Amino acid sequence: MTTHSLSDLLRSLSEELRALSGTTEEMHHLVCHDHLSQDSDYVRTVQSIDHTTQMLDNLSTFLAVIGEEASEDWQVAVGTALETVRMTELKRRLHGSSAETPDSSNDNGDLELFG
């Protein structure tokens, strides 16, 4: 059974959300140019990207603080949850440094285009 301390798991999730926030911010800068001359749908989309960035950043901070306050003794079984993660690198990062290796035999999600 794969287990992690709750604080380590929350720290990992916080880092993943922080990285997604950064990526979303990069997308925002990529598409947000000359927005004053764009139609209302475009402006709403740009605002949605900005809102998503802020949400990811806030959730990242929230989980990081909970992780800092959680006892290192609290353990969470993550094996079943890890089986739902189809992206190999994400699974590896979430798995962390435990001695067990996640099963990637059903790893069919490394590249999923528009699906």
* Spatial CB neighbours of 95, under 8 Å, sequence gap ≥ 6: 2, 78, 82, 101, 102
* Spatial CB neighbours of 40, under 8 Å, sequence gap ≥ 6: none
- pLDDT value at position 24? 92
Please report, for the chain, the start and end positions of each structural domain, with discontinuous segments joined by +: 3-95
CB atoms within 10 A of CB 111: 7
The residue ranges of the chain whose pLDDT is under 70 are 34-37, 97-115
> 76, 4 in Cβ contact below 8 A?
yes
Tell me the C-alpha distance between 78 and 80, whole Å: 6
- pLDDT value at position 98? 42
- pLDDT value at position 87? 94
